[in-house]
Amino acid sequence: MSQIAEWFDGLALGRKPSPGIEAVLTIMRTDAGRASFMSTQELASRANVNVATVVRAAQFLGFSGWSALKSELRHRYLASLTAEKLLTERAVPAGGVVESSLANDLHNVTLLAESIDPDRITRAAAIVAAADRIIVLATGSYAAAGFQLAHVGQWMGRDIELHTASGTALVNRLLSLGPGDCLVSCNLWRASKFVLDVVRVAAKRGIRIVAIADRQTGITDLAEEALLVPSEGVTFMPSTVAAVATVQALLAELSAIDPTRTMAALRGAEELWSDLDLVDPA
């Protein structure tokens, strides 16, 4: 867990914590997996401190409380595991995998509604709306949320394009973007290194960055707006449901920024669908 220990050191900024806070931090450093699933009371009991000390430990690291730190710690811990390790660590749920998966996704959406700042989504939508050209950069299964953003964004008349891999096509698209244009990064769990490299290049070119992620990363550090979503799954697969829900909210806000433009684009799409006889009559 050296990565998590280094992360803690970076947050501490050389400050020396009190003995009680140090006891809490030591448990998180040495047993991040279990600690990230503990309640405030459980962690306090394990560290032989009171609940208030756990809260102060989270605030010492720059978080509002244990709930916010716990979510970040859990996603960092999960990101340190391979898919095989995730699968072997998780016992088959007593209620069945299907029921557990559905309940987990419901929990993730509930947690998202409780934790996300609506103003962040509003500001992210404003960045997208202000851009002449937009790239959505997503990899693997996380491209599901990215595809929804690009597809519906195009439907609303926006010049927005999904890229799921590195290569010359992505370089060409980057060359067409300039200051004020936008790159949306949608990457969860173990994000591809090339995405961070592309975001760095884009930021240097004055391209505005919006990030959808499940924890603080180098990408979120570069982003003008970062939307953090829960992504924990019940097997080896992280859940993409909260990311998709966040994209849905962003698209709803985007449609409301310029309703006249949105309506005109949707009307044009409907007319073209009719001309091409694309839609099966109800």
pLDDT in tens, 25-50: 999 888 888 888 888 999 999 999 99
CATH 1.10.10.10 occupies which residues in the chain? Answer: 2-80
Q: Distances from the Cα of 149 to the Cαs of 159, 217, 243, in angstroms?
A: 11, 21, 11
CATH of domain 2-80: 1.10.10.10
pLDDT bracket for residue 92 (50, 70, 90):
low
Question: Would you tell me which CATH number, out of the four given (3.40.50.2000, 3.30.420.40, 3.40.50.10490, 3.40.50.300), belongs to the domain 115-255?
Answer: 3.40.50.10490
Task: Give pLDDT tens digits for 97-111.
Answer: 888 899 999 999 999
Q: Distances from the Cα of 152 to the Cαs of 96, 116, 147, 251, 262, in angstroms?
A: 35, 22, 8, 7, 11
Report whether pLDDT(93) > 70.
no
Predicted confidence at residue 91, as pLDDT, reads 64
CATH 3.40.50.10490 occupies which residues in the chain? Answer: 115-255
Q: What is the mean pLDDT of residues 87-94?
A: 67
Looking only at the bridges linking them, the beta strands covering 182-186 and 134-138 are parallel
In degrees, to the nearest 5, what angle opens at C-alpha 118 toward C-alphas 112 and 122? 130
